[in-house]
């Protein structure tokens, strides 16, 4: 193995170690049209971080809100850490958590939410270089017929790709 290929393999390993997804909100991509995404940090206690490292979090009914120039994540459920003694100092699993964004990003989000009646939805939760991050999206809600149209379009694309693959197979074989 050459020196250059060893270096590439090491870089690939470090990239994979830098990013580790914990949870994903698949329902958000179904219910909303995603217009723009942002990465935000989250203010957590120590036991909550340990619980996240175990992969125990629910993003299902979570949403974000901007109040008084601060971004908040509401409805995210992080159960207590399994090896903690419990009792005093254990945070509420459903508490509202502050998100860490730059002032310019908060101002941009506030303006777009007010003008275009959009909503902030968390898409995924992950660790990047040891810090817990949440990917939030500026999204517009879909109506029922929009959802059906999106599903039909996705299915048509899959069917077309399947037919193309079959045609290539027949042509080669």
Best CA proximity match to 119, nearest among 146, 134, 139: 139
pLDDT per residue as tens, the chain (173 positions):
666 655 555 555 555 567 889 999 988 888 888 999 999 999 998 888 988 998 889 888 899 999 999 999 999 999 888 777 666 667 888 899 999 999 999 999 999 998 888 999 999 999 999 899 999 999 998 877 777 888 888 889 999 999 999 888 887 64
Q: Which residues pair with 67 in a beta bridge?
A: 70
pTM: 0.72
pLDDT tens across 146-161, in order?
Answer: 778 888 888 899 999 9
* CB burial of residue 106 (10 Å; 0-12, 13-18, 19+): middle
pLDDT tens across 81-98, in order?
Answer: 877 766 666 788 889 999
Q: Give, in degrees to the nearest 5, the angle at Cα 122 between 117 and 124.
A: 150
- The CATH homologous superfamily for domain 19-142 is Small protein B (2.40.280.10)
């Amino acid at each position: 193995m050459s020196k250059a290929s060893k270096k590439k393999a090491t870089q690939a390993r470090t990239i994979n170690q830098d990013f580790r997804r914990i949870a994903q909100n698949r329902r958000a991509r179904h219910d909303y049209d995603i217009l723009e995404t942002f990465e935000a940090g989250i203010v957590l206690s120590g036991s909550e971080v340990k619980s996240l490292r175990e992969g125990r979090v629910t993003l299902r009914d979570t949403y974000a809100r901007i109040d008084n120039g601060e971004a908040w994540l509401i409805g995210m459920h992080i159960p207590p850490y399994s090896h903690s003694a419990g009792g005093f100092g254990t945070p509420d699993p459903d508490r509202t958590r502050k998100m860490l964004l730059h002032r310019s990003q908060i101002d941009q989000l506030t303006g777009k939410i007010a003008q275009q009646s959009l909503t902030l939805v968390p898409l995924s939760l992950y660790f990047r270089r040891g810090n817990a991050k949440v990917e939030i999206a500026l999204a517009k809600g879909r109506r029922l017929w929009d959802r059906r149209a999106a599903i039909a379009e996705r299915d048509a694309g899959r069917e077309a790709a399947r037919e193309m693959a079959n045609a290539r197979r027949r042509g080669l074989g």
